[in-house]
Amino acid sequence: MTNSLINVGTAFPTFQKQAVVSIEAGKEFQEINSDSFKNDDNQWTVMFWWPKDFTFVCPTEIAEFNKAFGEFRDRDTTLIGASTDSEFVHLAWRKDHDDLRDLKFPMLADTSKSLAEELGILEANEKVAYRATFIIDPDGIVRWVSVYDLNVGRNVKEVIRVLDALQTDELCPCNWEKGEETLNA
């Protein structure tokens, strides 16, 4: 039985995983842990998950997050991609796929599936992660969760829109976008 989906207002689980950070020989891998979420620099984190490497929908999402990397950086936000594939499979995929060679963010390897299970995003039959996105505030608290079916790609612009709204720390109406008026209570 898998865990329930982690909820908004919950501390992001503690973890320590390998990630692919480069395709340059000798610099491919780096350990990433949950302590990187908690800092004094007001740094936010967006962690997005995909089901499997070497598939069809996943690279379109990963490439789109990479195109928007500067927008996340401009919002003081660390971007991390993740799946249950190994760091070696991530590396092979990055080397093999034109759109993934120059990624500016790490590809986290949750080979034990423990983090996906703790987040409540491990699909019951195939034991792969759903397409989930978590926005985590500088205190390590989950502020937004979005989960899609395995066959449906997410909208990166919506992730940025929600991040902008959360960072205002104000009341934002339906369809609010950065630069628009917030609500006064």
Q: Which residues pair with 46 in a beta bridge?
A: 79, 135
**Which domains can be identified in the chain, with CATH numbers?**
39-168 (3.40.30.10)
Between CA 180 and CA 170 the distance in angstroms is 12
Q: Which residues of the chain have pLDDT under 70?
A: 1-2, 36-40, 56-59
Question: Is 174 part of the annotated catalytic residue set?
Answer: no
The pairing of strands 77-83 and 142-148 is: unpaired
Q: List the catalytic residue out of 19, 21, 32, 58.
A: 58
Q: Mean pLDDT score of the chain, rounded to an integer?
A: 88
Instruction: State residue 62's pLDDT score.
Output: 86
Q: In sequence order, which ranges of the chain are alpha helices (DSSP H)?
A: 57-67, 69-74, 87-96, 114-119, 156-168
* pTM of the predicted protein model: 0.91
Using CA atoms of 58, 34, 20, 30 in order, give the dihedral in degrees to the nearest 10.
180
Q: pLDDT tens digits, residue range 122-172?
A: 998 989 999 999 999 999 999 999 999 888 888 899 999 999 999 998 888
DSSP string, 134-174: EEE-TTSBEEEEEEE-TT----HHHHHHHHHHHHHTSB--T
Give how far Cα 147 sits from Cα of 12, 49, 158, Å. Answer: 16, 9, 13
Instruction: State residue 102's pLDDT score.
Output: 84
